[in-house]
């Protein structure tokens, strides 16, 4: 869970626009810890402070990957980015019915890399700046609610809508960026036809930089299937 970068963002992976617009919450003893491997490497290299903040300097995805389950990348307020960190929303055991399918539609190298593409969007896309300020905070809060309450109907729809808007900011970038292939477009249409056939949202997809991800609950006790 994250937002998008805006002018003046801090470091390569810094993305203002998360759900928490106040100071990051101080960690407590009950908070989940990063993976054992990450903690071991931190000790070897003498890394101090929040490990997700250190990881974020290289990649936003890396800061979220330090924890299992559902993770939120918080915007933070400090100019040095020290409070732009990842926090777990729910552990991996929270929603065992959820299934994630990753569809690799192409192994070719992207024409525009993710880091360069985001930086270009930060510099040229007015839509991205509007989205980060006016839309992302409420969507982050709603997504956290969907996860906590296991509301797949809202979860799936919000995932798809936010993915669409992400790609809209890519097209608003100058020169425009397109990460969607013809195969990606067919996957999108397939998901909508599948949901229309069942009369409810049984699958939700997000395409990030050309890699479709589908989330779907199997037949189970919550009435899906």
pLDDT at 16 over 60: no
Can you give the pLDDT at residue 111? 84
Contact 90, 147 (CB under 8 A): yes
> Same domain for 103 and 86?
no
Domain assignment present for 223: no
Task: Identify the domain boundary among 92, 124, 140.
Answer: 92
> Same domain for 204 and 123?
yes
Domain assignment present for 88: yes
Domain assignment present for 143: yes
Contact 85, 26 (CB under 8 A): no
> Same domain for 114 and 24?
no
How does pLDDT run across 142-194, given as a tens digit for each residue? 999 999 999 999 999 999 999 999 999 999 999 999 988 899 999 999 999 99
Interatomic CA distance for residues 122 and 15, integer angstroms: 10
Domain assignment present for 221: no
Domain assignment of residue 31, given as a range = 1-92
pLDDT at 224 over 70: no
> Same domain for 209 and 112?
yes
By mean pLDDT, which of 104-108, 165-169, 209-213, 214-218 is the weakest?
209-213
Domain assignment present for 39: yes
> Same domain for 110 and 59?
no
- Give the total number of structural domains in the chain: 2
């Amino acid at each position: 869970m994250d937002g998008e970068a805006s002018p003046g963002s801090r470091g390569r992976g810094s993305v203002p626009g998360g759900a928490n617009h106040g100071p990051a919450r101080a960690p407590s003893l009950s908070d989940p810890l990063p993976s054992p491997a990450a903690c071991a490497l931190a000790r070897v290299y003498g890394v101090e402070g929040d490990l997700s903040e250190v990881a974020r300097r290289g990649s936003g995805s890396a800061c979220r990957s330090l924890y299992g389950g559902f993770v939120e990348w918080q915007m933070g307020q400090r100019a040095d980015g020290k409070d732009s960190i990842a926090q777990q929303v729910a552990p991996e055991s929270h929603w065992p019915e959820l299934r994630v399918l990753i569809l690799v539609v192409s192994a070719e190298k992207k024409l525009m890399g993710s880091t360069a593409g985001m930086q270009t969007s930060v510099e040229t896309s007015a839509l991205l700046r509007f989205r980060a300020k006016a839309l992302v905070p409420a969507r982050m809060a709603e997504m956290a609610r969907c996860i906590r309450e296991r509301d797949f109907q809202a979860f799936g729809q919000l995932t798809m809508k936010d993915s669409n808007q992400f790609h809209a900011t890519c097209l608003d970038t100058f020169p425009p960026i397109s990460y969607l292939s013809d195969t990606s477009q067919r996957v999108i249409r397939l998901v909508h036809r599948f949901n229309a056939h069942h009369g409810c949202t049984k699958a939700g997809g997000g395409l990030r930089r050309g890699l479709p991800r589908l989330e779907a609950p199997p037949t189970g006790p919550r009435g899906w299937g």
